[in-house]
Amino acid sequence: DGGITQSPKYLFRKEGQNVTLSCEQNLNHDAMYWYRQDPGQGLRLIYYSQIVNDFQKGDIAEGYSVSREKKESFPLTVTSAQKNPTAFYLCASTNRGVSSGANVLTFGAGSRLTVL
């Protein structure tokens, strides 16, 4: 079955360490997204990519980095510059195209990052 796989599901990090969250999709979707979820704040966009080798900052990109070397993969690195990284991270993807406005985001199951 097609879908989005995020790993790891749970991750613990010491302060000052960089960590990378994996996101892989086999839906043949062009666009991929990273969202951060905190209690009471909904989902906030970190980075997104609409095509391979191209990505744009979202609303809260500081302290994060991404790459898009393959269509299927969009890893997110949480760097030591991110001051409050403890959160739930969701990866999503969708198709582009002429009628892409109607396309729906498909989400992964998420990764929970805790800074010790």
Partner 1 sequence: AQTVTQSQPEMSVQEAETVTLSCTYDTSESDYYLFWYKQPPSRQMILVIRQEAYKQQNATENRFSVNFQKAAKSFSLKISDSQLGDAAMYFCAYRSAGIIQGAQKLVFGQGTRLTINP
Binding stretches for partner 1 (CB under 8 A): 31, 33, 35, 40-45, 48, 50, 56, 58, 88, 90, 92, 94, 96, 98, 100-105, 107, 109-110
- For partner 1, the closer of residues 17 and 56 by Cβ is 56
- For partner 1, the closer of residues 9 and 18 by Cβ is 9
Q: Which residues pair with 12 in a beta bridge?
A: 114
For residue 42, the minimal CB distance to partner 1 (Å) is 4
For residue 21, the minimal CB distance to partner 1 (Å) is 14
- For partner 1, the closer of residues 11 and 43 by Cβ is 43
| Contact yes or no for 6/74 (Cβ under 8 A) | no
For residue 16, the minimal CB distance to partner 1 (Å) is 28
CA distance 52 to 78: 21
CA distance 12 to 18: 11
Q: Which of 32, 66, 36 is nearest to 51 (CA)?
A: 32
Question: What 3-state DSSP class applies to 102?
Answer: helix
- For partner 1, the closer of residues 19 and 31 by Cβ is 31
